[in-house]
Amino acid sequence: MNDWIYSEEVKDHFFHPRNVLFEDESLFKHNARGIAGNVVCGDQMLMLLRIEDNTIKDIRWKTYGCASAIASTSALSEMVKGMTLDQALAIKAEDVAEHLGGLPKKKFHCSVLGSEALKNAIENYQNSLNG
């Protein structure tokens, strides 16, 4: 009777999100911050990174959105933790969807936003170094 429209992986990430930040963002020490989407459209992701030696040492995120948005951000955070910035930037929305055992077609855009927030965070970080 529990026919979940999402994969078990999506369900698992939705109910047990990894690296999620429940507290205020000031309580996670970070040096990179990126955001994508907007609440008016129903999806928004915030990515906070602690970058050391060009590597994502730690990551936290917040998401306003549906189960696939939450699961996508959670999966992405798990995938990029420990990666170099270049490796992290190479992660595509398709990779996130694959990590989740696939997403319903209509929900694919949810996995795009997480990658955009991550990209935005890394760009902000690189700009701050250059600036």
Partner 1 sequence: MTQRVYLDHAATTPLSAEVRQAMQEAFGLFGNASSFHAEGRQAGAAIEQARANVAAAVGAELGEIIFTSGGSEANNTVLQSLREFQGDSLESELIVSAIEHPSVLMAAKRLQKRGTKVHYLPVDRLGQVKLSELKKVLGGKTALVSAMMANNEIGTVQNIAEITRLTHTAGALVHTDAVQALGKIPINVHELGVDYATFSAHKIGGPKGVGALYVRNAAPFTPLIVGGHQEGNRRAGTENTLGIVGFGAAAKQVPRFINQMAKTKVLRDDFFVQISIKIPQIVRNGDPDGLPNILNISFAGAEGESILLALDDDGIAVSTGSACASGDTSPSHVLMAIQADPELAHGSIRFSFGPDNTAEDTERVMQALPGIIEKLRAMSTVHSTPHSTPLDTKRIMKTGREVR
Q: Does 129 bind partner 1 (CB under 8 A)?
A: no
Per CB under 8 A, the segment of 15-23, 80-88, 89-97, 119-127 that binds partner 1 is: 15-23
Q: Does 83 bind partner 1 (CB under 8 A)?
A: no
> What is the closest distance, in whole angstroms, from the C-beta atom of residue 50 to partner 1 in the complex?
17
Q: Does 14 bind partner 1 (CB under 8 A)?
A: yes
Dist CA 89 CA 112 (whole Å) = 13
List 110, 118, 121, 122, catalytic entry: 110
Q: Between 78 and 84, name the residue whose CB sits nearer to partner 1.
A: 78
Dist CA 49 CA 56 (whole Å) = 6
Please indicate whether residue 41 is annotated as part of the active site.
Answer: yes
Dist CA 57 CA 19 (whole Å) = 12
Q: Does 17 bind partner 1 (CB under 8 A)?
A: yes
**95, 110 contact by CB (below 8 A):** no
Provide the 10 A C-beta neighbour count for residue 19: 18
Q: Which positions from 22 through 61 interact with partner 1, judged by CB under 8 A?
A: 22-25, 35, 38-46
Please indicate whether residue 66 is annotated as part of the active site.
Answer: no
Dist CA 122 CA 84 (whole Å) = 11
Q: Does 114 bind partner 1 (CB under 8 A)?
A: no
Residue environment code for 83-99, b if the CB has 16+ CB neighbours within 10 A, otherwise e: bebeebeebebeebbeb
Residues in contact with partner 1 by CB under 8 A are 1, 14-15, 17, 20-25, 35, 38-46, 62-70, 104, 106-107, 110
